[in-house]
């Protein structure tokens, strides 16, 4: 699998140091707030798992899964809920945990959906941000790394459901996805 990686962009050690740093910020900001951590499946589960192990506060966890692709490799901008929240977030502090902010479409839709449920607050923690591909304004309150416009895998991010288990973030060799269209542009 590592032979499919063109370049390691962010090492395992760099990721773990950043997760610890983000957790410290979240611990300060959410002390006594008992946040609901909302992981965006499938890519954010590794980041969420590591992040919550560093949190020294009471919190609950829930997950959402959205699809904007169908059978295409680029976002249609039309979202379908695959898995919705099971927890009511009304009057609660919500922290959305996202793997990557790319076009911003998924995050924008998710924020609108969560805000409609009347939480006390909503913030976003994202491991990666790819601002060069933004189609709509979107930003993280807690950000790991800003990355260039490259198709990345590892640490939860995938291509064709592979590479999620890599402990680093790597740039996938273009020949791996050649012939399958361009790499996905929001959900990886």
Question: Annotated catalytic sites, by residue?
Answer: 102
Unique residue bearing structure tokens 């939480």: 119
Report the C-alpha dihedral over residues 59, 114, 151, 141, rounded to 10 degrees.
Answer: -60
C-alpha span between 115 and 112 (Å, rounded): 5
3-state secondary structure 89-137: CCCCEEEEEEEEECCCHHHHHHHHHHHCCCCCEEEEEEEEECHHHCCCC
């Amino acid at each position: 699998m590592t032979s499919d990686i063109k370049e390691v962009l962010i090492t395992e050690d760099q990721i773990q140091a950043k997760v610890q740093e983000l957790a410290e910020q979240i611990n300060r900001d959410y002390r006594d707030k008992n946040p609901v951590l909302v992981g965006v499946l499938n890519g954010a589960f590794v980041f969420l798992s590591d992040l919550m192990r560093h949190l020294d506060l009471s919190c609950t966890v829930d997950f959402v899964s959205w699809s904007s692709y169908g059978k295409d490799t680029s976002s249609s901008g039309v979202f379908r809920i695959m898995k919705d929240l099971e927890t009511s977030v009304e009057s609660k502090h919500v922290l959305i945990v996202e793997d990557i902010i790319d076009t911003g479409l998924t995050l924008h839709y998710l924020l609108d959906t969560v805000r409609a449920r009347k939480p006390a607050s909503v913030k976003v923690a994202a491991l990666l941000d790819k601002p060069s591909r933004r189609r709509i304004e979107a930003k993280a309150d807690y950000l790991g790394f800003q990355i260039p416009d490259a198709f990345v895998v590892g640490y939860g991010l995938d291509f064709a459901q592979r590479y999620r288990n890599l402990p680093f973030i790597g740039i996938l060799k273009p020949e791996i996805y050649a012939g399958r269209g361009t790499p996905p542009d929001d959900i990886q």
